[in-house]
Structure formats: structure tokens, C-alpha cells
A = this chain, B = another copy of it.
Amino acid sequence: METLQKPDLFNRLTKEQFNEVVKSGFSKTLPSKSILFQQGDPADTCFLVNSGCLKLAMVNEEGNEVIVRYVDAGELTAAITLIKDRDYPVTAESVGETEVTGWDKQAFMGLMRDFPDIAINILGIVLERLEEVQHRYQELCTEQVERRIARTLLRLMQRGGKKTPEGIEIDIPVTRQNIADYAGTTLFTVSRTLSAWKKRGWVKSRREHITITDPHALVMFTDKG
């Protein structure tokens, strides 16, 4: 692992302190599509994504998957570990090859004691995340599918989009099913919707890859249905 970018989480630490913090954890490299932790397992480790991307998803009894969010490089996940005796509420799966640093509960609690700013930082991060989920909850309650799909594409785009001559391409492989799991619909509806938007020149797609050719149109669509 080369020298890491210092992520937001540790923004108030010096370079030396940050290196110390990283050393107190352990590093792990995941091949694509491997499980980092599983919903229902006792939560004992939290992770910082160094590179790559994790997909956080919940599965219900019937086996329906719901994508909670994607976790990018520089972001922390499984902060739930810091609460007493909980299970992971979600499953984390690497999207591409992904490198993470992990700390067990003890180690991370120690860090927070040594660097009290970390606790405040995490609080801020978790609060933002809460707000985002609440917002998506509201969208799911009140908006129709196509709008939700549009929002999903825009979110994925903002998360990580590569500029290409054609438009902005979402930089992780996503299937129609993934988008459906994210937007709360079915892969069929997603497919139909994308086909319609392709005709209008808003998007282009190859297998598992989507390029948004007219982001502005999509934004307008989310605003005014």
C-alpha cells in the first residue's frame, strides 16, 4: 500500500498522527465481489476504505436485496461496531478490487480516546448519512419510480463519474438489478426506463456500464417529474 490520502474522517490529525492511526489497524485487500462482513454477524470491526468501493446491502427473509449505499475510498463503514453488542445490519461486498483498513472495537475506541476529534468527526459523518437516508426514505414514500431511478443515476454519477466524450460514465459496474435494488423497484422497470431515456438521448449504456449523456435533462426530470 502506498501512502494513503488522509481522508476527511481524520482531517484534524497531523500526517504523523494519521500514520500512527493507520498502523494501529490492519490492512486487507479484497478481490472483486467478495464479502467483507455479513448482515447478522456480530459487529466487531469497523473499516476505512482505502481504494475501491463497497456495496452495502440488506436482504430480507424473502431474499430481496436492498442497496443501502455505496462506500467509496476515504469513507468509514460499520461504525455501528462502536455501539455495545450489535450485529451488522447490512452486508458489505467489494465492487471492484478493494483495499480496506480495519480496527476492532477496542482499537477504535482507543483511537477516539487518544484523538477526541475523531469522535466528533464520526458524529458529523453519521449525521450526514442519517440525513441522506431520511431523504431517500422520503423520496421512496412520495415519488414515482422513474424519478427515483433518475435520482439514483445522479447519485451514482456524483459518487464517482468519469468524464468521457459522450458524457459522464458511472465508474463502477452496475447492473439493472443493482439500480433497481437502489431505487426500490424491479430490474424490468429500470430496463424499460433506461430504454426510453436512451431514445431521448439522455443516457447510453453497455452491459454493466451507464453513461449519462445529458445530466441536465435528468436533473430537470427529478425536479419537475
Q: What's the minimum C-beta distance from A19 to chain B, rounded to whole angstroms?
A: 24
Interface membership of chain A positions 116-160, coded 1 if the CB is closer than 8 angstroms to chain B and 0 otherwise: 100110111011111101111111111100000000000000000
- Cβ of A62 within 8 Å of any chain B Cβ, yes or no, is yes
**B122, A89: Cβ atoms closer than 8 Å:** no
**Judging by beta carbons under 8 Å apart, are A66 and B131 in contact?**
no
Question: How many identical chains are in the complex?
Answer: 2
Q: Is A187 an interface residue (CB 8 A)?
A: no
A79 within 8 Å of B (CB atoms): yes
- Interface class of chain A by DSSP: helix
Whose C-beta in chain B lies nearest to the C-beta of A139? Answer: B60
Contact sample, A vs B, 13 pairs, CB 8 Å cutoff:
A58-B135, A60-B139, A60-B142, A64-B141, A68-B134, A80-B127, A83-B124, A84-B124, A116-B116, A122-B123, A133-B134, A136-B137, A140-B140
Known contacts A123-B122, A126-B126: does B138 contact A66 (CB below 8 Å)? yes
A124 CA / B85 CA spacing, docked (Å):
11
**B142 in contact with A133 (CB, 8 Å):** no
Whole-angstrom distance between the Cβ of A68 and the nearest chain B Cβ: 6
A76 to chain B, nearest CB (A): 12
- A190 on the interface (CB 8 Å rule)? no
Min CB–CB distance A126 → chain B (angstroms): 5
What is the CA–CA distance of A89 and B181 in the complex, to the nearest angstrom? 25
Q: Give bound CA distance, A43 to B126, whole Å.
A: 17
